[in-house]
Amino acid sequence: MKIFLLAILFLVSLPAFAEGQFGIGAMVGNPTGVNGKYWLSKTTAVDGNAGFSLGGHSNFNLHSDYLFHSLGALVFQDTHPLDVYYGIGGRMKFDDDIELGVRLPVGLAHRMENDRADVFAELAPIVDFIGRTGLEISIGIGARYYF
């Protein structure tokens, strides 16, 4: 629980570094929790999530990814541009033992007017290589507000 509170504190303190480049929100799926994103440039960003896996075991998860965006790559109903993004990152899962893995997220994001918020959906295969090894799939949808 202490790690979860520290992660939230870290995510909440990041807006002080750059106005309009940091967003915080929630992600629902596997895991479900607090999500943040920091834009490094117009097409690159770093995101992170602190949350719990839902299902048989309620395991705490931390992950962070370096993302590349193709802005407006898809257009929905001629007026709603969707960004396609992909990247690479890491995941730490606190089960009976700590599990470490590599994430390869791919997703779609829609920025609201004035870039003050976005909604997203992503799929991320995870290859765990420390702890219990194997392949896992993370699926989530979420929204963020930018400060």
CA distance readout (Å), 144 to 57, 86, 92, 110, 135: 27, 18, 22, 11, 28
How would residue 53 be classed by pLDDT, with cut points 50, 70 and 90? confident
Place of tokens 């479900």: 32
Lowest mean pLDDT among 4-13, 25-34, 115-124: 4-13
Mean of the per-residue pLDDT values of the chain: 85
Lowest mean pLDDT among 1-10, 52-61, 104-113: 1-10
More confident residue, 25 or 15: 25
HSE-CB of 134 using CA atoms within 13 angstroms: 5
- Tokens, residue 48: 């992170």
- Nearest Cα to 122, choosing from 143, 106, 104, 137? 106
Lowest mean pLDDT among 12-21, 61-70, 75-84: 12-21
How would residue 10 be classed by pLDDT, with cut points 50, 70 and 90? low
Asked whether 118 and 133 are in contact (CB, 8 A), the reply is no
Task: Tell me what the mean pLDDT of segment 28-47 comes to.
Answer: 95
Instruction: Give the per-residue pLDDT at 80.
Output: 75
Instruction: Give the per-residue pLDDT at 18.
Output: 52
Q: Which residues pair with 136 in a beta bridge?
A: 126
Q: What is the DSSP letter of 7?
A: H
Architecture of domain 2-146: Beta Barrel (2.40)
pLDDT digits (tens, 9 = 90+) for 71-129: 878 876 767 789 999 999 999 998 778 899 999 999 999 988 777 999 999 999 999 99
Place of tokens 């915080």: 24
